[in-house]
Structure 1
Amino acid sequence: MSQALKIWNTLVNKPAGKWTFSKLICLKAPYFSSISPVFETLRANYCEIKIKKQRSVLNHIGTVHAIAMCNMAELAGGTMTDATVPSTHRWIPKGMTVEYLKKAETDLIAIATPVEPNFQWNQGRDYLVNVEVKDLHQNTVFKAVITMWVSAQK
């Protein structure tokens, strides 16, 4: 079990546990603090995070900026991967393709899941992660597929 998943499991049911976990992740990877994420769910093969539509993530037309959604996708996808990959392996993002489908006019939720849930962890290979970002009306506003490189630890 990954260190992040162990910490999540320790904090999730505590008062302000989700908020505390989210802040700890942003201490480890400071760039993600730019979107002020809050983790809602984390387990192997699944991660869900939320962000508020606030001034710091807006573009010139008052909607959530495309790169803020990319940031959300990478955070959700990376954390889900970390919670899923066996402790004998390591991972790193290799690439991401995105689709901007609608204006993001509300708070958002990102859901990350593997393309192949029964992935075979053997020698180094690509691991694909789907991330869907929805608004408060359950409209999908953004989609991403992140390619993670997964290999055995040396």
Structure 2
Amino acid sequence: MNKLASIVGRINGLPGFARSRALTLFFNRLVKYAGTSGTVVEKLTTEHCIVTLKNRKRVQNHIGSVHAVACALIAESATGFVVGMNVPDDKVPVIKSMNIDYVKRAKGDMRAEARLTAAQIQAMKTEDKGEAVINVVITDAEGKSPLIAKMVWAWTPKRR
């Protein structure tokens, strides 16, 4: 277990009503842009993460839906948080690439859900360096997927 997973484990031990708020406060202080945008961490475990974003004025585009970059933010956050839960403390996770296809107009609030496979988790914990393609499902208030995304995360040893 790494330091991040240990902290999140303690937060996940809180009563259900306090968990999301505590996770959100923790990550929005850690990742300033996520906090500025108003992301909410709904769930985080070593294999699964859900991040949401309300369709508010400060994250809207010119047509009143959540801006494309804000959608990319929640996709990157969900995948990055779950990767961070598994990469050992002597390694650093870095986003290597984002592939996002915008296939239809988003309506309302947005949700990003990322999952890791057992093989991905094992690789992160045992390989000195590597990379993983993390699929993320992004849905809008209607439950439709206006974006199709995958993120490539890498991990490398920390510099001394």
Interval of TM-score (by shorter of Structure 1 and Structure 2): 0.7 to 0.9
Confirm or deny that 1:21 pairs with 2:23.
yes
Match of 2:6 in 1: 6
Is the contact made by 2:3 and 2:89 (CA closer than 8 Å) also made in structure 1? no
Match of 1:118 in 2: 119
Provide the TM-score with structure 1 as the length reference.
Answer: 0.87
Confirm or deny that 1:137 pairs with 2:139.
no
Percent of paired sites with the same residue: 24
Question: Which stretch shows the higher mean deviation, 6-15 or 37-46?
Answer: 6-15
Question: Which stretch shows the higher mean deviation, 44-53 or 81-90?
Answer: 81-90
Match of 2:44 in 1: 42
Provide the TM-score with structure 2 as the length reference.
Answer: 0.84
Is the contact made by 1:11 and 1:20 (CA closer than 8 Å) also made in structure 2? yes
Q: What whole-Å deviation, never above 9, does each CA across 1:5-33 have from its counterpart, x for those lacking one?
A: 32222223334331122122111110111
Cα offset, 1:60, TM superposition: 0.2
Q: Secondary structure of the equivalent of 2:119? A: coil
Between the two proteins, the alignment pairs up a number of residues equal to: 153
Give the unaligned 5+ runs of structure 2: none
Q: What whole-Å deviation, never above 9, does each CA across 1:42-92 have from its counterpart, x for those lacking one?
A: 111211111111111100000110000011111111001011224453311
Name the amino acid aligned to 2:149: A
Distance 2:115 2:82 in 1: 7
Give the unaligned 5+ runs of structure 1: none
CA RMSD, 1 decimal: 1.9
Is the helix fraction higher in 1 or 2?
Answer: 2
Distance 2:109 2:2 in 1: 29
Is the strand fraction higher in 1 or 2?
Answer: 1
Q: Secondary structure of the equivalent of 1:84? A: coil
Distance 2:55 2:42 in 1: 16
Match of 1:59 in 2: 61
Residue from 96, 99, 121 that aligns with 1:97: 99
Q: Secondary structure of the equivalent of 1:25? A: helix
Name the amino acid aligned to 2:156: S
Is the contact made by 1:110 and 1:132 (CA closer than 8 Å) also made in structure 2? yes
Name the amino acid aligned to 2:9: N
